[in-house]
Amino acid sequence: MNGETIELKTGAGRVYRCYVSRPKSAKAPGVVIGLDIFGFRQVFFDIADDFAARGYLAAVPDYFWDVQPNESGTFRGQYKFPTMVETTGATMAAVRTMAGCNGKVAVTGFCVGGNTAFIGAAQQGADAAASYYGTRLHTLLDEVDAIKVPTVLHIAEHDETYPDEERDRILAAVKRNPNISAHVYAAPHGFAHSHVDEAAGNLAHERTFQIFDKLK
């Protein structure tokens, strides 16, 4: 691993873990990376290291710090979305002030992290956002008009976490906001990090970096 796990604090002073991977460049944009339902683990450290190699100060907060996994070892049905949002915002604020950050911070996330990325753009002052197959985007459509920064949504064609009708609602809703681009991939949920479809994942990442690289 390129980075290290440090401790950060929420606005209320609660301590949580955060993996931070630093680039070689002296001044770089930050990126906060949201976890999936399986939690704080190596695949996300690798993603952060990949971002660092591309010139970003990357941070992965453990926003499941206030809950325990269920019997299957995941946080499905256990997580507290307000905690996830609060922790994401606290991490964005911390990254902005870290040595080596140029003051710009993007937010991204996978699975449930795709939802926090969307809120990061709508409510928390992110400079750009990329949501990878957010599981609850169809419940967050009231936030569409609040997004004022470049935001890309990567959506599985037939996502196992919601019906196709909800996919269509998402696509229809975001069309009214020119800051949001949405792309559908003929690949499964998790295609860019866990159930990897290399072609789809590479195309999605290319689209993410098209907007994130403008923060450099």
List pLDDT tens digits, range 112-126: 999 999 999 999 999
Q: Rounded to an integer, what distance in angstroms lies between the CA atom of residue 147 and that of residue 152? A: 11
- For residue 24, give the 3-state DSSP assignment: coil
Reference 48, options 85, 4, 93, 15; nearest CA is 4
Pick from 48, 5, 46, 4: nearest CA to 30:
48
- For residue 127, what are the CA distances in angstroms to 43, 80, 167, 188? 25, 25, 25, 28
Specify which residues 151 forms β-bridges with.
129, 180
Rounded mean pLDDT of 85-93?
98
Domains and CATH numbers, the chain: 4-215 (3.40.50.1820)
Residue 25 has pLDDT above 90, yes or no: no
Q: What whole-number percentage of the chain has pLDDT above 70?
A: 100
Residue 38: which of 209, 202, 197, 189 has the closest Cα? 189
Count of helix runs (H) and strand runs (E) in the chain: 5, 8
Residue 159 falls in the annotated catalytic set: yes
Average pLDDT over residues 81-89: 98
Tell me how far apart the 2 most distant CA atoms of the chain are, in Å: 46
On the question of pLDDT at 1 being above 80, the answer is no
Separation CA 209–CA 202 (nearest Å): 11
Name the active-site residue from 154, 189, 193, 205. Answer: 189
Prediction pTM value: 0.97
What is the identity of the amino acid at 64? F
Which one of the listed residues 36, 159, 193, 205 is annotated catalytic?
159
Asked whether residue 2 carries a pLDDT value surpassing 90, the answer given is no
